[in-house]
Structure 1
Amino acid sequence: MKAFSLVEPSPAKNLLPVWERLLEEGWEVTVYGHGRGVEILKWEGIETKQLGKPRRRQGLLGYVGFSVDLIRTVRALASERASVVLSSGNTGDARKSLIASRMLGIPSVHLEMDVYNPVEAVRWATRVLVPFSEKWAEVLKRRVGVETKVVSGAPLAQYLADRHLSGRIPGPVPEEYEGRVLVCLGGDITEEGARRLLSDLEDHDPVVVPFRVSPPEGFECVREFVDLPGVMMLADTVVFAGGFGVTIEACVVAKKAVKVSEVHPKHLSHWIAEESGVPVMYLSESSGAEDAVQMARKPRGEWLIRRGRSAVAEIVEEILEVG
């Protein structure tokens, strides 16, 4: 039996414990990727085949680029003779995988983490899995009208426990970030919001990890590709404005953390942070982002690890059932 995955960085880390369990079960696992998703898997010693590229363009050029990558995905999937397609998240790679599997009649298992903004191709998955509780399964059902099954949590938490918390950090972690305030920009903040946040944090001499949002000039940025959870472990405080993946990373490994939200008033990641004792600071309601460092608290992420381990077993059971 063979599983096929086409992944970007965050889904790669979320699926790694599942791939490892499948290998223990005697399955083959074929992983395709591109860019930084491939880089993460190289750290793990996983052979990855190159396919596609990140697509941020909209309109006709974006459509043409996606169509080209979809054709390549269909060809790759057909040549691999996979038993099951395994995908995660609301990425372009998940979209291509699910469409290709539907076209070829190959079963698919999709683990959706962004229940408020799911990949639309989730409708074509054979089995859709949602973490934590029926509450989030109902949110996804209302959004896209699909039936789902609930798994205990996110495999990403097991990935972090087995590696970073066990002293086995897979990627590069520059020592100069030790003791700093680490600001992780992402999909839950605008460029205007980032300017406001960083302006109010300027006295803390923050180091910025830019993702999708460019910081204003004058701030030190992490330009090289680093092991982000490893850098979080070195930092004194983590201020983050991202979604599901970076939230779990901060809640499991950070010394102190605070989540900043501007774009998404409701999000599964807000609930994860709050359940882990990490405050969520809404920029629209705050009097000043200077409060961010003062609001930061030590996360209580042990529950995420327990649920992540249970989820890996549950996801593998679903794969074995459909495959």
Structure 2
Amino acid sequence: MKIAVAAELAPAKSIIPVIKRLDAEILGLAHGIGADELLMPYCNKIKFIGQGRGAGSKKRSNSQLAYLVMIDIFKTINALRGEKIDLLLTCGNAGDVRKGLAAANILRIPTLHIEQDIYNPIELIAFADIITAPSENYKKYLQDKYGLTNIRNIGGYPLANFLTPVDIMDKEKVHQLYGVDEFILLALGGDLKIEDLPNLINAVESLEKSVLIAPFRFDRNHIKKMVNSSNIKVLEGFVDLPSIMNASSAMIYGAGMGMTIEAAVLNVPCLKIAGFHRKHASVDLATELGIKIVEIKEIPQKINDLSHPQAKNLLKNSKNATDSLIKIIETFKHQSHSKGGYKSLKRIWDARSKFR
């Protein structure tokens, strides 16, 4: 069996626990910074299919964005053509999924999508042969909200299974590397807008504690210009974030599912910023794990009232989810497939408009 995986950095962490256990040849279609490096040990070959154009990128018109996406779709088609792929595997709700599913459908390659965002999925999952959901309730939501019928409940999040064996740098080494004895990590992710950053920087400066900022999707130099306190250091865009999280005394983050799961697995006390995704699966999971969700202005008051996430069920369900995904892949040819099609695409498109 030959499988292609289209993935950005965060979704790759959900896919790796699955592909490393498969008896298959793996083609990695890396999307964005860091994905190729993360996928490389688990793939027979890596090809680059483009990058995201998110929060920190240059503003472009819709026509310019459409043109750039089409270029990357053709790049993905060329990456897949001639490889004799039996199945394309995707996860997440960003450009990697859109380009991968579009190219696979044009080339008539079967597709399996791991859905975790639920309330804000990418519209092209309407053309995936099989979609997985992390719970029976979420499966029903996807069916009722978007008219999707090709959904399998896998009962958890594979990402948590990726983090348990990962090599984490010793805490003291992290402290030495960044010149701090104790620090709070501020992780900036996809649940923040650039206009949120001045108030957020002011809030963490008021803590008068050492803070390391992981800019993630935002431009590092732009963040540095906002910082006035010597207690704050802005990290490079691509760092060993799990090790930094593990070494921190607490974390404040404005990101989604990936960061929520990582914080829980690493048992890091944290605050999740109530970003513009007010209804989001990561909000549901954070609440379930006991992670407080706060407004930016509440950070100075809430940072001293933290508890560790309750991750026992998350870890158990993650193993079961990984096992379920492997079984689906291994029996894929014998399963019924029914795509949602254009009606589902329209319903997802209309739902996503609320997040723009």
Q: C-alpha displacement at 1:248, in angstroms?
A: 0.5
Q: C-alpha displacement at 1:93, in angstroms?
A: 1.0
Q: Give the corresponding residue for 2:106.
A: 103
Q: Give the corresponding residue for 1:30.
A: 27
Superposition RMSD in Å: 2.2
SS at match of 1:312: helix
- In structure 2, do the counterparts of structure 1 residues 212 and 238 end up closer, same or farther at CA, with 3 Å as the change threshold? same
Q: Give the corresponding residue for 1:20.
A: 20
Q: Give the corresponding residue for 2:308.
A: 298
Residue 212 of structure 1 pairs with residue 217 of structure 2? yes
Which runs of 5 or more structure 1 residues have no equivalent in the other structure?
Answer: none
2:92 to 89, 94, 98: 89
1:237·1:254 contact (CA, 8 Å) conserved in 2?
no
1:246 to 259, 282, 286: 259
Residue 311 of structure 1 pairs with residue 321 of structure 2? yes
1:146 to 128, 145, 148: 148
1:130·1:136 contact (CA, 8 Å) conserved in 2?
yes
Which runs of 5 or more structure 2 residues have no equivalent in the other structure?
Answer: 54-59, 334-356
1:40 to 38, 41, 45: 38
Amino acid at match of 2:46: K
1:159 to 158, 162, 169: 162
Residue 195 of structure 1 pairs with residue 195 of structure 2? no
After TM superposition, the score normalised by the length of structure 2 is 0.81
Q: Give the corresponding residue for 2:46.
A: 49
2:89·2:113 contact (CA, 8 Å) conserved in 1?
yes
Q: Give the corresponding residue for 2:118.
A: 115
Provide the rounded CA distance (Å) in 2 between the counterparts of 1:178 and 1:102: 52
* 1:154-182 alpha-carbon deviations (Å, 9 max, x no partner): 11101101214xx589xx96732662100
Provide the rounded CA distance (Å) in 2 between the counterparts of 1:144 and 1:161: 34
Q: Give the corresponding residue for 2:247.
A: 234
Provide the rounded CA distance (Å) in 1 between the counterparts of 2:39 and 2:289: 28
Amino acid at match of 2:227: E
Provide the rounded CA distance (Å) in 1 between the counterparts of 2:240 and 2:45: 18
> Bigger shift: 254-263 or 114-123?
254-263
- In structure 2, do the counterparts of structure 1 residues 168 and 48 end up closer, same or farther at CA, with 3 Å as the change threshold? farther
Q: C-alpha displacement at 1:78, in angstroms?
A: 2.4
- In structure 2, do the counterparts of structure 1 residues 295 and 196 end up closer, same or farther at CA, with 3 Å as the change threshold? farther
SS at match of 1:239: strand
2:292 to 276, 279, 296: 279
Q: Give the corresponding residue for 1:257.
A: 270
- In structure 2, do the counterparts of structure 1 residues 222 and 78 end up closer, same or farther at CA, with 3 Å as the change threshold? same
1:38·1:48 contact (CA, 8 Å) conserved in 2?
no
Amino acid at match of 1:156: L
SS at match of 1:294: coil
Provide the rounded CA distance (Å) in 1 between the counterparts of 2:136 and 2:292: 24
Q: C-alpha displacement at 1:19, in angstroms?
A: 0.5
- In structure 2, do the counterparts of structure 1 residues 12 and 239 end up closer, same or farther at CA, with 3 Å as the change threshold? same
- In structure 2, do the counterparts of structure 1 residues 13 and 217 end up closer, same or farther at CA, with 3 Å as the change threshold? same
2:36·2:48 contact (CA, 8 Å) conserved in 1?
no
1:196·1:289 contact (CA, 8 Å) conserved in 2?
no
Q: C-alpha displacement at 1:111, in angstroms?
A: 0.3
SS at match of 2:298: coil
Amino acid at match of 1:9: L
Q: C-alpha displacement at 1:186, in angstroms?
A: 1.4
Q: C-alpha displacement at 1:109, in angstroms?
A: 0.6
Q: Give the corresponding residue for 1:74.
A: 77
- In structure 2, do the counterparts of structure 1 residues 142 and 195 end up closer, same or farther at CA, with 3 Å as the change threshold? farther
- In structure 2, do the counterparts of structure 1 residues 76 and 191 end up closer, same or farther at CA, with 3 Å as the change threshold? closer
After TM superposition, the score normalised by the length of structure 1 is 0.89
- In structure 2, do the counterparts of structure 1 residues 55 and 299 end up closer, same or farther at CA, with 3 Å as the change threshold? closer
* 1:186-239 alpha-carbon deviations (Å, 9 max, x no partner): 122233433223312211231111133453233421115212111100111011
Q: C-alpha displacement at 1:46, in angstroms?
A: 4.4
Amino acid at match of 1:308: S
- In structure 2, do the counterparts of structure 1 residues 118 and 37 end up closer, same or farther at CA, with 3 Å as the change threshold? same
Equivalent residues in 2 for 1:163-182, closer than 5 Å: 163-164=166-167, 175-176=177-178, 179-182=182-185
Q: How many residues align?
A: 311
> Bigger shift: 199-208 or 134-143?
134-143
